[in-house]
Structure 1
Amino acid sequence: MIPVFVDLASALPDMDIQILDILIHGNMVGVRAKVRGTQSGSLMGIEATSKPIEFAIHSFHEFRDERIAKTWHLEDWLSVFHQIGTLPPSLN
């Protein structure tokens, strides 16, 4: 996952992540957040567009012994590609 995060940080150098909700149920934690930034660098092979983007992320974590044992994560990339106006070259 490190290369994915490096690519995202490079593409959105002004990235801001806003946590909207944290839900706790037993050993499960859900996080709903919003990512904002300007696509100033290459993102998944899409050259910089200088367009602002905003997308939702959702993460669900299962804790065991005070540590994260499992994570399920979802990012709304379709809305990103819609805002940028193109798909990554690998999907065209």
Structure 2
Amino acid sequence: MNYAKFWNTGEEVYAHKALLANFKDMTPPEGRKEGIKGVLEASQSFRKIVPNLHVEVEHLLIAGDFATIRYRFKGNFNGKMGEVAGQGQVVDFPAVDIYEIHDGKITKNWHLEDYNTFFSQVK
């Protein structure tokens, strides 16, 4: 749940509590840096365009060394993404993460965000 707290607050301390030092993002977007640094930069970048970002855990399933979380990302698009400038549009989209856990921390993460919904909301 520390990683969920990180996405909800943007506070780096939660990412460091949740992720092993050799954490690996198994489905990184093009251009994202590896490891914890990439995650921290992704959060900072997204919070520039959705500064009031709030992330809720809608579902959590734990099976052995794996956890699956269904998230809901909400806020208002007030920044700029490419050529699109935000005007306070409401954003509300789901994401799903699968974590491999070792020693109580996330070592690998597979994720899928519903960017089709996000982009349809910020047009």
Question: TM-score of the superposition, structure 1-length normalised?
Answer: 0.82
In structure 1, what is the Cα distance between the partners aligned to 2:83 and 2:70? Answer: 27
In structure 1, what is the Cα distance between the partners aligned to 2:97 and 2:82? Answer: 21
Matches for 1:38-49 after TM superposition, within 5 Å? 38-49=76-87
Q: Taking structure 1 as reference, are residues 45 and 61 closer, same or farther at Cα in structure 2, changes over 3 Å only?
A: farther
Question: TM-score of the superposition, structure 2-length normalised?
Answer: 0.63
Q: What's the CA shift for 1:65?
A: 2.8
Q: What's the CA shift for 1:3?
A: 2.8
Q: Which has the higher helix share?
A: 2
Q: Which runs of 4+ in 1 moved over 4 A?
A: none
Is 1:16 matched with 2:68? no
Structure 1: unaligned runs, 5 residues or longer: 86-92
Q: What's the CA shift for 1:46?
A: 2.3
Aligned pairs, number? 85
Aligned CA RMSD, in angstroms, stands at 1.4
* Greater Rg over alpha carbons, structure: 1
Q: What's the CA shift for 1:24?
A: 0.3
The percentage of counterpart residues that share the same residue type is 22
In structure 1, what is the Cα distance between the partners aligned to 2:91 and 2:80? Answer: 13
Structure 2: unaligned runs, 5 residues or longer: 1-37
